[in-house]
Structure 1
Amino acid sequence: MNSEFTIAVHSLVLLAYRPDRTATSEMIAANVCTHPARVRKVLSCLKKTGYVATREGSGGGYTLACDPQEVTLAEVYRVTSIGSIKPSWCSGDEDEDCLVACNMAEVMDGIFSEAENRMLTFLEQVKVTDVLDRLRLVHAAKP
């Protein structure tokens, strides 16, 4: 998994939380604790897929363009991070006559694909508003 997924979820939840559902990249970056350029890069992916829109000029910024009760974390993962669970690595020479060296990459690729599919199944059950609800519970429980 990569940080783009976390930044995307954080940004969508923040926009869903704000009364006007709008924020600048600087506001989002301060909330996420990252550079505004990173936020803009991630939000450009979310804009291409219709989750956010932009407004230019004074009072502009990013606006939530989706229903946070409908957007699952699996959708966000697919936009930002699909395939990232599989590390880039190499195994032994495929020409070798060794059970492990010849087959490890194929077997591990299958394991990582299965793990990602299971994670997506879980993330399909979590909506952006569910994350916001969990945040409210954590905040309410603090003294």
Structure 2
Amino acid sequence: MNSEFIIAVHSLVLLAHRPDGMASSEEIATNVCTNPVRVRKVMSCLRRNGIVDTREGSGGGYRLSREPDGMTLAEVYRALAAGSLAPNWCSGDPESDCLVGSNMSDVMNDVFCGADRQLEAYLDSITIGQMLERLTAKARA
């Protein structure tokens, strides 16, 4: 999992929470505790994937492209972090004569691909609206 996914979810829940549904990259960055440039990079990817819309000029910023209850964390994951569970390196040598050494990379790849599918299925069961509800419930407790 990468930090861009966390920034994206935080930003989307913030937009869902705001009465006007709109926030600038600076406002989002302050809330997320990161740099506005990083926020703009993440939000640009979300815009390309139809998750947020933008409005230019004074009073502009980002807003959700649809209702929070119809937007899943899996969509965000696919846009920003799909496949991020797989390591960049795997042990073994495919040219090796050893059963373990020559096949470990493929077997580990299968394991991580399966884990990625399971994670995506789980994230598909959680919406941005539900994340906001969880935060609201936590604040009441």
User: TM-score if structure 2 supplies the norm length?
Assistant: 0.96
Question: C-alpha root-mean-square deviation of aligned residues, in Å?
Answer: 0.9
2:53 and 2:94 map into 1 onto residues whose CA distance is 48
Displacement of 1:93 in angstroms is 2.1
**Could you tell me which residue of structure 1 aligns to residue 67 of structure 2?**
67
Range with bigger deviation, 61-70 or 80-89: 61-70
Q: Are the counterparts in 2 of residues 22 and 62 from structure 1 also a CA contact under 8 Å?
A: yes
- What amino acid sits opposite 1:135 in the alignment? L
Indicate whether 1:137 and 2:137 are aligned: yes
1:96 and 1:50 map into 2 onto residues whose CA distance is 46
- What amino acid sits opposite 1:137 in the alignment? A
- The aligned length equals 141
**Could you tell me which residue of structure 2 aligns to residue 2 of structure 1?**
2
Q: Deviations over 1:49-93 (max 9, x none)?
A: 121111111111112221111011111100110111101003222
1:118 and 1:90 map into 2 onto residues whose CA distance is 21
Displacement of 1:104 in angstroms is 0.7
User: TM-score if structure 1 supplies the norm length?
Assistant: 0.95
Displacement of 1:122 in angstroms is 0.8
**Could you tell me which residue of structure 1 aligns to residue 78 of structure 2?**
78
**Could you tell me which residue of structure 2 aligns to residue 115 of structure 1?**
115
Q: Are the counterparts in 1 of residues 28 and 36 from structure 2 also a CA contact under 8 Å?
A: yes
2:23 and 2:93 map into 1 onto residues whose CA distance is 51
- What amino acid sits opposite 1:117 in the alignment? R
**Could you tell me which residue of structure 2 aligns to residue 30 of structure 1?**
30
2:92 and 2:119 map into 1 onto residues whose CA distance is 29
**Could you tell me which residue of structure 1 aligns to residue 54 of structure 2?**
54
Paired residue secondary structure (1:69): helix
Gaps of 5+ in 2: none
Displacement of 1:121 in angstroms is 1.0
Q: Are the counterparts in 2 of residues 16 and 64 from structure 1 also a CA contact under 8 Å?
A: yes
Gaps of 5+ in 1: none
2:124 and 2:53 map into 1 onto residues whose CA distance is 23
Amino-acid identity (%)? 56
